[in-house]
C-alpha cells in the first residue's frame, strides 16, 4: 500500500460510526490494554464479492486508524466446499485492495488440535455430549421458532462414554453422519442457535491445509469464537446475520478455562489485561440489480449464466477488477456507504459513480471506433500522413501528449453518419460538416453503397485551414472521433452492463432469477479499431475511449496478436429514471 493510502486510513478525520465510537470508548477505558486487534475471517469456499470489500475495508482500516493490527484468518472448517484456489484468490484480492495483514496468514485449521482439546474440556465439564441422531432427526428434535426442541436420547450419556466416543470419532472408526458432538445448553431456548448446537461432525474428506490428518471437523460457530480468543482479537466485527449467534459465541468462550487459552496465546502474542473478544454486528452491504450470495454466484457459474468467478459481470472482486474497477474506487465506495446497524439497499449508481469519478481523473484519453465506416479524404495525397499531437487528458497536463497519425483514409463510427438524419442530429451527413476530434473540419461529399444499398464508404474533403482553428464564416457544431484506417489496430471490445434488469433479482416474488437477466449484459464487437497509442502506451491499461466510455485491457484473454478491451462503465448513467 502506498504511504499516502496508509495515511488516509489512519486519519482522524475518518467518518464516525457506532463501531469507531465503541472502540474509542474501549481505548479510553483501557478495556483491552489499549490495543485494537481485528481480523478478517473469510471462508475459502468461493471468491470474495463486493459485500466482503466492506468488511475488509472496515476491519483493516479500524485497526490502522487505532494503531492496531488486523489478522487474515481463513475459517476453513468445511473442506467439502473449500479449495486452495479460493485461498490464493482471497489473498490476492486483499492485497489488490491495498491492505496487508498482520504477521503470517492464519487458518482455523492451525488450531484444530486446540479446538479438539477444548471440546474435550466441555465434555469433561458436562457441557457437551456425543449424539447419534442423524442430521434429519436432529432437525426434527430442534423444534421451531414457536415450539421448543426435544432433548436428544443421548443427552445424558455418561462423561466417560462421551469421551470414549469422541476419541473414536477422531481416529476414524465411524462413518460420516453417524455421530456428532453437541453442546449441552437448552433445548427450550427461544434462540434456536442455543438448542444444543452441533460442535463437531464426522467427514472423511481431504482438507486443503491438513490433508487426511482429520476426519472430524468443527463447526463455524464453535471454531470462530475460539480462534478469535486464541489470536487475542479485541473486536470481532461481523454482519447482522450473526447477531442471533452472539449468545453462543459468548457461551463457548465463557465456559472454557481461560488458563487453557493463555497456553496458546503465543500464536498471536499477548495482551496485558486481556479480556475475551466481543462480537459486534453491522449491516451487510446489499446492492440492487445484484445477487451476491455465494450459493447464487456458484449456481450462475454452474448453469452457464456467467463463465466463471471472474466473469466481469459478476460482483466478485476478481470480476470487478477484470472489468476495470479500481481498488481506489471500491474503497471510496465502501467509505461512502458507511457503517450502521440499519439494513438498507445501496443503489448500484453509487458504485458506478465511484468508478466514473476515479477513472475520469486517472484514465488517459484515446480514440476507438467500435463500428468502423471508412471515410476517404479526396483532397490529400494517397501517401499523406500527418502526426497530430493530442492531450492524454484534458485536465491533467502532467499526463502528457500522444501522437495520432492522420491519413487519407480514416474510420469513423457508423453511428456518426446518417443519410436521413433525425431532428437534432449533430454528426456527419451528406454535404454536412463536422470536426474530427483533434483534427480538421471535414465535409462529406459522396456516399458509396454496395449492391444491397448499404453504405460502405464515405468520401469527404477537409478544410486545411481548420487544424486547431475555427472555420471562417460558419459554425460547426459536431465533433466525432476517428482513427487512421492504415495505422489503427484491430481489437475486440466487450461491452459490459448490469447482469440483471430488475432491482431485486433475489426477491421472493421472482420464481427464477434467469427471467430477470439483462440480454445486453455482454455484447462482443470484433474488428474494432484503436489508435496505435493505446497499444504503444505500456504505462496504462485503463482508457477513456472518447465518447464511448471507460475501458480496460482484459489481461486474461488478450494476446499479442489481438487485444481485448472490456468496457468498465459508460460515460453517463443510462439506468437512472
Pairwise CA distance, residues 495 & 567, whole Å: 5
Q: Are β-strands 372-377 and 368-369 bridged in parallel, bridged antiparallel, or unpaired?
A: unpaired
Rounded to the nearest 10°, the torsion over CA 160, 163, 164, 165 is 120
Contact status, residue 461 vs residue 442, Cβ threshold 8 Å: yes
Burial bucket for residue 169 (CB in 10 Å: 0-12, 13-18, 19+): buried
The answer to whether 433 is a known ligand-binding residue is no
The answer to whether 245 is a known ligand-binding residue is no
The answer to whether 439 is a known ligand-binding residue is no
Apex 306 CA angle, 305 and 312, nearest 5: 145
The answer to whether 49 is a known ligand-binding residue is yes
Chain centre to alpha carbon of residue 32: 33
Instruction: Note the CATH architecture for domain 288-362+489-530+547-577.
Output: Orthogonal Bundle (1.10)
Rounded to the nearest 10°, the torsion over CA 225, 227, 232, 238 is -50
Apex 159 CA angle, 155 and 163, nearest 5: 105
The answer to whether 75 is a known ligand-binding residue is yes
3-state SS record for 398-419: HHCEEEEEEECEEEEEHHHECC
**pLDDT per residue rounded down to tens, the chain (577 residues):** 443 344 444 444 567 889 999 999 999 999 988 899 999 999 999 999 999 999 999 999 999 999 999 999 999 999 999 999 999 999 999 999 999 999 999 999 999 999 999 999 999 999 999 999 999 999 999 999 999 999 999 999 999 999 999 999 999 999 999 999 999 999 999 999 999 999 999 999 999 999 999 999 999 999 999 999 999 999 999 999 999 999 999 999 999 986 666 555 555 445 455 678 999 999 999 999 999 989 999 999 999 999 999 999 999 999 999 999 999 999 999 999 999 999 889 999 999 999 999 999 999 999 999 999 999 999 999 999 999 999 999 999 999 999 999 999 999 999 999 999 999 899 999 999 999 999 999 999 999 999 999 999 999 999 999 999 999 888 998 999 999 999 999 999 999 999 999 999 988 889 899 999 999 999 999 999 999 999 887 767 999 999 999 999 999 999 888 999 999 999 998 887 5
Can you point out the beta strands (E) in 75-219? 106-107, 128-131, 180-183, 198-202, 216-218
> For position 536, what pLDDT does the model report?
84
Buried-state track 88-119, b at ≥16 Cβ within 10 A, e below 16: ebbbebbeebbbebbeeebbbbbbbebbbebb
Rg (C-alpha) for the chain, rounded Å, is 31
Up-side HSE of residue 288: CA atoms within 13 Å toward CB? 14
Pairwise CA distance, residues 214 & 115, whole Å: 12
Pairwise CA distance, residues 499 & 514, whole Å: 10
The answer to whether 52 is a known ligand-binding residue is yes
Q: Do domains 128-220 and 366-488 have the same CATH topology?
A: no
Grid coordinates representing 79?
473442506
Phi, psi of 422 (to 5 degrees): -70, 165
Pairwise CA distance, residues 92 & 88, whole Å: 6
Contact status, residue 435 vs residue 502, Cβ threshold 8 Å: no
Q: Are β-strands 455-463 and 372-377 bridged in parallel, bridged antiparallel, or unpaired?
A: parallel
Q: Within 10 Å of residue 27's Cβ, how many Cβ atoms?
A: 18
The answer to whether 128 is a known ligand-binding residue is no
Q: Which CATH class is domain 366-488?
A: mainly beta
The answer to whether 272 is a known ligand-binding residue is no
Ordered by start, the domain boundaries in the chain are 128-220, 288-362+489-530+547-577, 366-488
The answer to whether 44 is a known ligand-binding residue is yes
The helix or strand, by DSSP H or E, that contains position 430, with its residue range, turns out to be none
The answer to whether 338 is a known ligand-binding residue is no
> For position 560, what pLDDT does the model report?
81
The answer to whether 562 is a known ligand-binding residue is no
The domain made up of 128-220 is a member of CATH 3.90.800.10: yes
Amino acid at each position: 500500500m502506498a504511504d499516502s493510502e496508509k495515511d488516509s486510513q489512519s486519519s482522524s478525520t475518518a467518518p464516525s460510526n457506532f463501531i469507531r465510537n465503541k472502540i474509542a470508548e474501549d481505548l479510553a477505558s483501557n478495556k483491552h490494554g489499549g490495543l485494537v486487534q481485528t481480523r478478517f475471517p473469510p471462508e475459502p469456499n468461493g471468491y470474495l464479492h463486493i459485500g466482503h470489500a466492506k468488511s475488509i475495508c472496515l476491519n483493516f482500516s479500524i485497526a490502522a486508524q487505532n494503531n492496531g493490527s488486523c489478522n487474515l484468518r481463513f475459517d476453513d472448517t468445511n473442506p467439502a466446499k473449500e479449495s486452495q484456489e479460493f485461498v490464493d484468490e482471497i489473498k490476492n484480492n486483499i492485497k489488490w485492495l491495498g491492505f496487508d495483514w498482520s504477521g503470517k496468514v492464519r487458518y482455523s485449521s492451525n488450531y484444530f488440535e486446540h479446538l479438539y482439546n477444548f471440546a474435550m474440556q466441555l465434555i469433561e465439564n458436562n457441557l457437551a455430549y456425543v449424539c447419534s441422531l442423524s442430521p434429519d432427526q436432529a432437525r426434527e428434535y430442534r423444534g421451531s421458532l414457536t415450539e421448543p426442541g426435544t432433548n436428544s436420547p443421548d443427552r445424558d450419556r455418561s462423561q466417560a462414554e462421551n469421551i470414549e466416543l469422541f476419541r473414536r470419532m477422531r481416529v476414524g472408526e465411524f462413518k460420516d453422519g453417524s455421530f456428532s458432538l453437541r453442546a449441552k445448553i437448552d433445548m427450550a431456548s427461544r434462540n434456536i442457535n442455543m438448542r444444543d448446537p452441533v460442535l463437531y461432525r464426522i467427514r472423511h474428506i481431504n482438507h486443503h491445509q491438513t490433508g487426511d490428518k482429520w476426519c472430524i471437523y468443527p463447526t463455524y460457530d464453535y471454531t470462530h469464537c475460539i480462534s478469535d480468543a486464541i489470536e487475542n482479537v479485541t473486536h470481532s466485527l461481523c454482519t447482522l446475520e450473526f447477531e442471533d449467534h452472539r449468545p453462543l459465541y459468548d457461551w463457548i468462550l465463557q465456559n472454557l478455562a481461560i488458563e487453557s487459552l493463555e497456553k496458546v496465546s503465543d500464536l498471536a502474542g499477548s495482551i496485558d489485561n486481556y479480556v475475551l473478544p466481543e462480537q459486534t454486528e453491522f449491516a451487510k452491504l446489499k446492492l440492487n440489480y445484484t445477487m451476491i450470495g455465494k450459493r447464487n454466484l456458484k449456481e450462475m457459474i454452474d448453469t452457464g449464466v456467467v463463465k466463471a468467478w471472474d466473469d466481469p459481470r459478476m460482483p466478485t472482486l476478481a470480476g470487478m477488477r477484470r472489468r476495470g474497477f479500481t481498488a481506489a474506487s471500491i474503497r471510496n465506495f465502501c467509505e461512502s456507504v458507511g457503517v450502521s446497524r440499519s439494513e438498507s439497499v445501496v443503489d448500484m449508481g453509487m458504485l458506478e459513480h465511484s468508478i466514473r469519478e476515479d477513472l475520469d481523473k486517472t484514465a488517459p484519453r484515446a480514440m476507438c471506433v467500435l463500428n468502423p465506416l471508412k471515410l476517404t479524404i479526396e483532397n490529400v495525397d494517397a501517401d499523406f500522413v500527418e502526426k497530430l499531437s493530442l492531450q492524454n487528458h484534458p485536465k491533467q497536463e502532467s499526463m502528457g501528449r500522444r501522437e495520432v497519425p492522420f491519413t487519407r483514409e480514416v474510420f469513423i463510427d457508423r453511428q456518426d453518419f446518417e443519410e436521413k438524419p433525425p431532428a437534432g442530429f449533430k454528426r456527419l451527413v451528406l454535404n454536412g460538416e463536422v470536426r474530427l476530434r483533434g483534427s480538421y473540419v471535414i465535409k462529406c461529399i459522396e456516399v458509396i453503397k454496395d449492391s444491397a444499398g448499404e453504405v460502405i464508404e464515405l468520401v469527404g474533403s477537409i478544410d486545411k485551414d481548420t487544424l486547431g482553428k475555427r472555420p471562417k464564416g460558419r459554425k460547426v457544431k459536431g465533433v466525432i472521433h476517428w482513427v487512421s484506417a492504415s495505422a489503427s489496430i484491430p481489437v475486440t471490445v466487450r461491452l459490459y452492463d448490469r447482469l440483471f434488469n430488475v432491482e431485486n433479482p433475489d426477491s421472493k416474488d421472482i420464481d427464477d432469477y434467469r427471467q430477470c437477466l439483462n440480454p445486453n449484459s455482454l455484447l462482443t464487437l470484433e474488428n474494432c479499431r484503436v489508435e496505435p497509442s493505446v497499444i504503444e502506451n505500456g504505462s496504462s491499461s485503463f482508457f477513456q475511449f472518447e465518447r464511448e466510455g471507460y475501458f480496460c485491457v482484459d489481461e486474461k484473454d488478450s494476446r499479442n496478436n489481438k487485444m481485448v478491451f472490456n468496457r468498465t462503465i459508460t460515460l453517463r448513467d443510462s439506468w437512472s429514471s
